[in-house]
Structure 1
Amino acid sequence: MQTPKGHQHPLTQMIAEINSIFAEIGFVFAEGPEAETEHYNFDRLNVPKDHPSRDMQDTFWFKAKDVREPMVLRTHTSPVQARYMEAHKDQLPIRIIAPGKVFRNEATDATHEAQFYQLEGLYVDTDVNLGHLKGTLEYFFSKFFNGKTEVRFRPSFFPFVEPGFEVDMKILEGEGKLVGKWIEVMGAGMVHPNVLRDSGLDPEKYSGFAFGIGIDRL
């Protein structure tokens, strides 16, 4: 009798599907370290020194005696965009997606985990605008959910983008409880000039958008 073969974890399957959809419009896969420096996790992303996300109760910090410089378990996949822009500043346009594990120092319950998966997206070139962001997200969601979707932006604040938005998505076709309802799905915005500048890119010449979504939520 043949032994049943194993199969991929649903999250692994989902990441592969997301990679495939974004590859259709020129995005490439990128990744970075899960043990990240304070410099890339916070400083390079325009996060103020007194921002609450740096606190011990929000972030897993390595003990000072164990590292040469302040280190954390990354709290988001956004450091990948800073590292990638720095390494590819002479190879524009930049289009990347960066899925991976992130970590938050918080109590776990039915809706919160100390470790979860996040997807970062970044596009940088000349004359990138919010229309490009909206079109990209609508394309992705329509392919992912196999039907026409609509995206709307609500003003919000994230240190590494300006302006920043919470993004809602509505499935316009098909069946199910979610069809026709607005659902909050991610944070996004135009890459902050300071983030571009610190990566070696002139914000007077280049612009870009970035977004981050919890893969587990999809």
Structure 2
Amino acid sequence: MTSSSLDLETQLSDLKTNALSAIAQTSDLETLEQLRVQYLGKKGQLSQVLRGMGKLSAEERPRIGSLANEVKEAIQGAIEQRQENLQKSQLEAKLASETLDVTMPGVMRSLGQVHPLNGMIDKMLDIFVGLGYTVAEGYEVETDYYNFEALNTPQDHPARDMQDTFYLPDGNLLRTHTSSVQIRYMEQHEPPLRVIAPGRVYRRDTVDATHSAVFHQLELLAVEEGLRFTDLRGTIKEFLRQMFGDDLQVRFRASYFPFTEPSAEVDVQWQGKWLEVLGCGMVDPNVLKAVGYDPERYTGFAAGLGVERFAMVLHQMDDIRRLYNSDLRFLRQFI
């Protein structure tokens, strides 16, 4: 055995020892790949050692070559085993960090609920849609014509004092009722029609327990040939029955509105007393003329109610302002 072969054996033995030690101490896959290139790459340490085989005799080369293969296989096997262990450790760590303990109480997140005003509007709409009405919505900023004049309330009409509103610099105003929606709807549709108009309205009222400058109305309108007050009365009684329950006592009192004739206020017997809940009447012929309908051919009836009024009565609220304060202690009662 020549000195050259002894040197190569020593180098291969040292290379194997150093490589296996370094691989065993590796803690991440990136470093492990660097070690693979360092020892087994084309320019790695094993390749550099094997370059000395050119100095060996023909008899010594097979033995050193076999030894070199053993070293290579040992290093390669150690790398693969270490890679498998590191990957397994990483997976276990990830699973441990993402483990859901099903025995722990869940994190409660409160869900949003329908506001009592919206819930009341939804209930009213369900009733009227069931009676064959179509829902229509309109502008909250209106012209004087659609809010007053087309509804038989000219500039000098005293009924305007009942609906003092907020005027804008351009001459428009914040609507005082959703009746303006009915006018616009009639301009675009021919009878027969049945329409229900919910929405926010504005009046210059002093805010107190029963009044607000901003509130919600819901108005209904039906126009066709041959409609009579008895049709209005039957519609109103059925609506109130579904809102308040069966065996409800209802009374109609004569009243006045500029856009209906005859007109009436409607009361219900509720918890031992009469409560005014809405106004109604037959559509005034002047309103029909304003939208191009022939009052000799068509008749109609209309009614309007305050949503807050119904909410306060049905939920026994003592102050309208509770509906607007966003107090969760109050609103949670309706969940």
Alignment pair present for 1:8 and 2:107: no
Q: What is the CA distance between 1:157 and its match in structure 2?
A: 1.0
**Residue of structure 2 aligned with 1:169, choices 262, 268, 274:** 268
Q: What is the CA distance between 1:168 and its match in structure 2?
A: 1.4
**Contact 1:123/1:209, CA 8 A, preserved across alignment:** yes
Partner AA of 1:133 in structure 2: L
Q: What is the CA distance between 1:134 and its match in structure 2?
A: 0.7
Instruction: Give, in whole Å, the separation in 2 of the partners of 1:53 and 1:34.
Output: 20
Partner AA of 1:157 in structure 2: Y
Instruction: Give, in whole Å, the separation in 1 of the partners of 2:239 and 2:263.
Output: 20
Structure with bigger RCO (C-alpha 8 Å, 6+ apart): 1
Q: What is the CA distance between 1:167 and its match in structure 2?
A: 1.3
CA deviations 1:56-93 (Å, max 9, x no partner) are: x9210001xxx3xx31100111111111111102xx22
Q: Which residue of 1 aligns with 2:147?
A: 41
Alignment pair present for 1:181 and 2:236: no
CA deviations 1:91-125 (Å, max 9, x no partner) are: x2211111111100122111111000111110111
Instruction: Give, in whole Å, the separation in 2 of the partners of 1:196 and 1:10.
Output: 35
> When the two structures are aligned, how many residues end up with a matched partner?
203
**Residue of structure 1 aligned with 2:248, choices 149, 158, 167:** 149
Q: Which residue of 1 aligns with 2:95?
A: none
Q: What is the CA distance between 1:214 and its match in structure 2?
A: 0.6
Q: Which residue of 2 aligns with 1:214?
A: 306
**Contact 2:159/2:258, CA 8 A, preserved across alignment:** no
Q: Which residue of 2 aligns with 1:50?
A: 156
Q: Which residue of 1 aligns with 2:222?
A: 123
Give the TM-score, by structure 2 length. Answer: 0.58
Give the TM-score, by structure 1 length. Answer: 0.88
**Residue of structure 2 aligned with 1:201, choices 293, 296, 305:** 293
Alignment pair present for 1:158 and 2:241: no
Q: Which residue of 1 aligns with 2:185?
A: 84
User: Could you say what secondary structure the match of 2:257 adopts?
Assistant: coil
**Contact 1:77/1:119, CA 8 A, preserved across alignment:** yes
**Residue of structure 1 aligned with 2:129, choices 11, 14, 23:** 23
Q: Which residue of 1 aligns with 2:210?
A: 111
**Contact 1:37/1:71, CA 8 A, preserved across alignment:** yes
User: Could you say what secondary structure the match of 1:18 adopts?
Assistant: helix
**What is the CA RMSD across the aligned residues, in angstroms?**
1.5
- Of structures 1 and 2, the larger Rg is shown by 2
Partner AA of 2:136 in structure 1: A
User: Could you say what secondary structure the match of 1:138 adopts?
Assistant: helix
Higher strand share: 1
Q: Structure 1: where are the runs of 5+ without partners?
A: 171-177
Q: Structure 2: where are the runs of 5+ without partners?
A: 1-106, 311-335
**Contact 1:138/1:150, CA 8 A, preserved across alignment:** no
CA deviations 1:175-195 (Å, max 9, x no partner) are: xxx245322111110000000
Partner AA of 2:237 in structure 1: E
Q: Which residue of 1 aligns with 2:315?
A: none
Instruction: Give, in whole Å, the separation in 2 of the partners of 1:124 and 1:180.
Output: 36
Alignment pair present for 1:61 and 2:160: no
Partner AA of 1:80 in structure 2: V
